[in-house]
Amino acid sequence: MPPAKPSRPAPLEGVPPGFRVERDLSVGRHPLLAAFPGLDRLDTARRHEPDEAARERLHHQTLVEVVSQDVWMYVAPRALPKGMRRAWRPVVSPDADCIVVGQEHLRESPELTLFLDIFHELCHIRQRAAGRELWPEDLSYVERPTEVEAYRFVVDEAHRYGVADAILRDYLRVEWIDDDEHRTLLDAVGVARR
């Protein structure tokens, strides 16, 4: 008989002390700090947004929308981007900054993945607030400056906490890019190919 699956993923090395995930949130919208209590007190949060007032606004005004769909995390667009009209139907949030997370991802993914994902998406919230385009139609995913910048931030944080490049290579192997794009992304964010 195979061993029973643990009820919660084991914490991974590389997650900073104090990072917590409220894994049992119901489908719907919640404050960011209800999903990730204490996130605002992490050293990573201070490095991500050094200005205390801006950091407080970011963490207290951003929402998390838990959805039942099989998705990872993404920033809800204000309006449906033209290039997404056929292939994908994201949650749209015209009036509030909202990070969408799949319920299964929130419940089952390793803490390290969720740590990297939430700060990646918070980078996008800040980028959009600065007037940057998150979904330029003329660039591939790994060519988008906003993606490279967000991944570089979380890779730097992961390195700071002792996460090995082998783990980061796996983290950066997202299903919507091919092998060449994966190598391009690794090079762009400072993760060794092997």
Q: According to the model, what pLDDT value does residue 87 have?
A: 61
User: Token digits for 89?
Assistant: 């139907």
User: Token digits for 16?
Assistant: 């900073």
Distance CA 147, CA 93 (A): 20
Q: What is the mean pLDDT of residues 130-135?
A: 91
Q: According to the model, what pLDDT value does residue 71 have?
A: 87
Q: According to the model, what pLDDT value does residue 70 have?
A: 85
Distance CA 143, CA 159 (A): 22
Q: According to the model, what pLDDT value does residue 85 have?
A: 53
Quote the pTM value.
Answer: 0.89
pLDDT band at 89 (very low <50, low <70, confident <90, very high): confident
Distance CA 42, CA 148 (A): 23
Distance CA 185, CA 181 (A): 6
How big, in percent rounded to 5, are the helix, strand and coil portions of the chain?
Answer: 45, 10, 45
